[in-house]
Chains A and B, each alone.
Chain A
Amino acid sequence: MSQFKFWNDVNTVLSLDGPITKGPQPRYERKKMSSNSFNLSKQRSLSSSSISVTKTPCKTPLRKSKTPTPNKTGRTPAGDRFIPSRVASNLDLAHYKLSQDPNQEESSAKKELKRMLNENLHCNQRVLSYAKKAPAASEGFQNPMRVLYSHTRTPASVKAANRYIPQAPDRILDAPDIIDDFYLNLMDWGSNNVLAAALGSHVYLWNAGTGNIEQLLELEGNDYVCSLAWIQEGDSLAVGTTEGVVQLWDCARAKRLRVMAGHSARVGSLAWNSYVVTSGCRSGQILHHDVRQREHVLATISAHSQEVCGLAWSPDGRHLASGGNDNMVNVWSAVSGGCHSNNTPLHTFGQHQAAIKALAWCPWQAHVLATGGGTADRHIRIWNCNTGTCVHSIDTKSQVSSLLWAQNYKELVSGHGFANNEVTIWKYPAMTKVADLKGHTARVLHLAMSPDGSTILSAGADETLRLWKCFVKDPLKTKDKEATVRARPSALKQCIR
């Protein structure tokens, strides 16, 4: 309330033409008033004295004469000293006037100057415009140039991790002729600790334990390998090609087991669920192949209108996620008692604004899915597939090409394209940045994790594979865990004491 009162005061003061109602009276007015009263009392006393003189001249002349003294009127005499009274003065107002007035005068002077300048500058011209204006873009439209400007900004501060994450890669391998195509999946690290990488028309196997490299296959003609996927357990590798076939290889014997046709275009994504290999095609079709049977096609799903570039089965085998170039993510539930999915999606998520290649299921919460969008979208979204809701969404400011969940820590790894070509580690569920691993000179295309979960491998368009040892288990912490388990019986000792 007090500020309203103050502003009322200010307003009344600022209307300079009206009478002054608030604030201390000027000195000359007070002086006039007090001198008036003094004169009045004087006059009255004089007259009374004169009356007393005429009525009773000799009875009590002394007492009568005392009353007319000006001191007895009870008023302070009007002297030449000014003693300010704090009650009567408005200090707020005084301060306001002291501090504001000169500025205001100046600004009005400036305005005047501006007006004069304008008049002089534009003395010979008029500014005209057509009255019917062109409409603005529709509400909610965002400037598409935003993508160009906000690429390099990092969204979240890199939080100090409580463990050491090496900023340089542990090892760098050459990957000549790796195809720089966002829609392919050219790398997989199997449970047998063998990394399969497709370089052009070749597939190489790199044994991470021994360091041996062998060539598994070479396609003929202009064909190239579009996707690779290791079976969950074992030495079987599925290879998708430009011809639209899925080849099955036994890598222990380096022998092709079978060729499964069915697609009309290249097979850009593969995912295993037990004996079923699911393949996604450029035509938008998803096929489920039963690798044990002669009639291998279990189901054909046409839900995506464009190339399927991401496929992932959840670790418990109950859900399949597929992402396409049509900016859609579909989640399918497995048929009861089978290892392939239903023909109708359980959830369809259309929130991404670009192709979704990066898909990853959370290893410790089976219903949590992470998805990442391409250049126009750049978001990582976390979904709860039980409820079909988006739990988290974070703008990474650059293309998300790959996503992985850490096994040893509650963290998420993402591979990015332009502008920093970095691999980023995120804390889950806070989604704060833990570390940025920089080094690739072109965009990161694929990510893979070693079977023990300690090492990340990133394949870049700069034809290198970089190994990052960023999830090494903390020996102290694992010891601590064992210690707590062992310490439990000691509670008994405490009781005794």
Chain B
Amino acid sequence: MAAAVKNKSAINVKGSANIVCDYLNYGINSILFQRGLYPPENFSTTENYGLSILMSTDNKIKEFLSTTLGQLKEWLVKRMVNKVALVIANVKTLEVMERWDFNIEYEGNAEDGETRTSEKPLKQIKNEIRDVLKQIASSVAYLPLLECLCSFDLQIYTTNDVDLPEEWAVAEPANVRNAQSVKMRSFSTNIHKMETVVTYKNDD
């Protein structure tokens, strides 16, 4: 009986990947809003993690994020991703203005593979995620203003042995010139550990 209850609350690798991707979805949308990349009219509030988070209502952005994060989920389960980078670049000059790195570490032995489970309570994970999202929202206070028209892209740093899916391409790693970075809090599901770092152009 006790074992059954235990199993019920345990998180497997797929579930952990889901949590990570959910976090990324909310985090990226929040960044897009907070950094003013798109008009605020195109966002609507959603309640999650005990916060109200602004999510884009633009269909193209939604589609882009769901495809990318869907693919990411597969790779997360197979332990193939090291890092996800949200690159914000000037539309005209293509200069990289800002980069948000979501570094992923895998906890436990690699041999456990896809059978590993985590006993960490979901509530605690959500609280950790909430803290990171709060930090993202407050980052406007120190990040420089993006004065030019900017676009964003998601780059996924994978291991060498990954098969390139259709409609995916190898990208040039984007580096910010004269960069300064700030590390946010990290959260862990006991399977995946996610660390968020923002790198921005230092003007002065």
Contacts and interface: CB of A to CB of B under 8 A. Distances in A.
A287 B58 CA distance: 43
A130 B150 contact: no
B171 A127 contact: yes
Contacts of A146: 36, 145, 147
A126 B152 CA distance: 19
Contacts of A122: 157, 173
B153 interface: yes
B82 interface: yes
B64 A127 contact: no
Contacts of B68: 130
Interface stretch (A131-139, A217-225, A367-375, A455-463): A131-139
A127 B64 CA distance: 17
Contact of B171 (A128, A132, A137, A144): A128
Contacts of B65: 134
B71 interface: yes
A137 B168 contact: no
Nearest to B160: A124
Given A128-B162, A128-B169, A135-B60, A145 B145 contact: yes
Most B CB contacts (10 A, CB to CB) among A125, A128, A131 go to A128
B47 interface: no
Interface in B18-61: 34-40, 58, 60-61
> Interface on chain A toward B: helix, strand, loop, or mixed SS?
loop
A126 B172 CA distance: 9
A129 B168 contact: yes
What range describes how many residues of A lie at the interface? 20 to 34
A148 interface: yes
Contacts of A135: 58, 60-61, 151
B91 A136 contact: yes
A153 B160 CA distance: 49
B158 A125 contact: yes
Interface residues of B, number: 42
B145 A129 contact: no
A32 B34 CA distance: 75
Contacts of B149: 136-137, 139, 141
B39 A137 contact: yes
A123 B161 CA distance: 12
Contacts of B7: none
Given A122-B173, A127-B171, A128-B169, A143 B147 contact: yes
Given A122-B173, A141-B149, A127 B60 contact: no
A145 B39 CA distance: 10
A336 interface: no
Contacts of A149: 145
- List 8 tightest A-B contacts by C-beta distance, closest first: A136-B151, A143-B36, A145-B36, A134-B64, A149-B145, A129-B171, A137-B38, A129-B155
12 contacts: A127-B170, A128-B164, A128-B168, A130-B167, A130-B168, A131-B168, A134-B65, A134-B153, A136-B91, A136-B149, A139-B149, A143-B37
